[in-house]
Amino acid sequence: MPISNLVILIHGLHQVPFVMRPLAKRLRAKGYNTHRFGYRSMRDNIKTNSTRLNKWLEKNHNPNQPIDFVGHSLGGLIIRDFIAHYPQWQIGRCVTLGTPHNGSVSGDYIWRLLPAIVGQSYEKALDGTVAPLPEGIELGVIAGNKAQGLGQPILSYHNRRLRKANSVLANKDLAHDGTVYVTETRLASATDHIILPVTHTGMLVNKDVSVQAIWFLEHGEFEHT
């Protein structure tokens, strides 16, 4: 796979394209072309944002050239929705960072209590009903297990409920990055999965995360030790 692939980086909920700058800088140092795609995570739903991404590509990208993707959290779900609904594009490899592929427990709690906080990004996305990953897509999933972040109180509460219901539940089943459970990041159709000691937002600037993301884009697997 040529090193000059365009890599589209997609931020998560309540974020802006600037947060993907550290990863974009490391990708450019490796010879990749990058674009930080911005979208309105609160006002627009996942379908609208996928459509906007397609329109940007129609104006700015040669369809004969492959595209790689890296998405953080909700951004990874937009990647899945986009690939499923716009099959005309040549997709290279994709990496998701802390993406709740199976739905988000913290998102569920917030949706029930204060739905305005997640806005239009819950239905068909954070609720776990995003479009399935098409066959033949190489997807690498990076999860974090450092339990610090704004969602920690919610997940700590949920963990207590889980332990009350099942006292022998393994710690690995309760591991999370402060916002997303490791189990929520797992996807049966993914090519590879790796867990790193990072928080949900910390993975955006963590060097090991970027090294693993780039390794997957280059080799189609993570560098497991």
Domains belonging to the chain, first-starting first, are 6-143+180-219 (3.40.50.1820)
Mean pLDDT over residues 89-93, rounded? 96
Structural contact between residues 141 and 99, judged by C-beta atoms closer than 8 angstroms: yes
What percent of the chain has a predicted confidence (pLDDT) above 90? Answer: 86
Rounded CA gap, 150 and 216, in Å? 29
**What confidence score (pLDDT) does residue 4 get?**
64
Is residue 49 predicted with pLDDT exceeding 90? yes
**Would you place residue 77 in the very low, low, confident or very high pLDDT band (cuts 50, 70, 90)?**
very high
Mean pLDDT over residues 108-135, rounded? 93
CB count in 10 Å sphere of residue 205: 13
Mean pLDDT over residues 134-155, rounded? 94
Q: Return all residues near 136 (Cβ < 8 A) that are at least 6 apart.
A: none
Structural contact between residues 198 and 177, judged by C-beta atoms closer than 8 angstroms: yes
More confident call, 165 vs 210: 210
**Would you place residue 171 in the very low, low, confident or very high pLDDT band (cuts 50, 70, 90)?**
confident
Residue type, 119: G
61-192-23 Cα angle (round to 5): 50
CB count in 10 Å sphere of residue 54: 15
**What confidence score (pLDDT) does residue 166 get?**
85
Helices 152-165 and 105-113 meet at what angle, rounded to 10?
A: 110
**What confidence score (pLDDT) does residue 1 get?**
43
DSSP annotation of 124 reads: I
**Would you place residue 151 in the very low, low, confident or very high pLDDT band (cuts 50, 70, 90)?**
confident
**Would you place residue 172 in the very low, low, confident or very high pLDDT band (cuts 50, 70, 90)?**
confident
Half-sphere exposure of 117 (CA within 13 A, CB side): 11
Place of tokens 């497991």: 224
pTM comes to: 0.94
Is residue 100 predicted with pLDDT exceeding 60? yes
Residue type, 130: V
For 72, the 3-state DSSP assignment is strand
DSSP, residue by residue, 127-148: TTTPPPPPTT-EEEEEEE----
**What confidence score (pLDDT) does residue 2 get?**
46
**What confidence score (pLDDT) does residue 55 get?**
98
Token code pair at residue 15: 């974020």
Q: Identify the burial level of 23 via C-beta atoms within 10 angstroms of its C-beta, where 0-12 means exposed, 13-18 middle and 19 or more buried.
A: buried
Mean pLDDT over residues 65-94, rounded? 97
Rounded CA gap, 102 and 130, in Å? 9
Mean pLDDT over residues 122-139, rounded? 95
- In degrees and rounded to multiples of 5, residue 8 shows phi and psi of -95, 125
Mean pLDDT over residues 23-27, rounded? 97
**Would you place residue 26 in the very low, low, confident or very high pLDDT band (cuts 50, 70, 90)?**
very high
Token code pair at residue 4: 């000059």
Rounded CA gap, 164 and 215, in Å? 40
More confident call, 81 vs 167: 81
Rounded CA gap, 36 and 97, in Å? 15
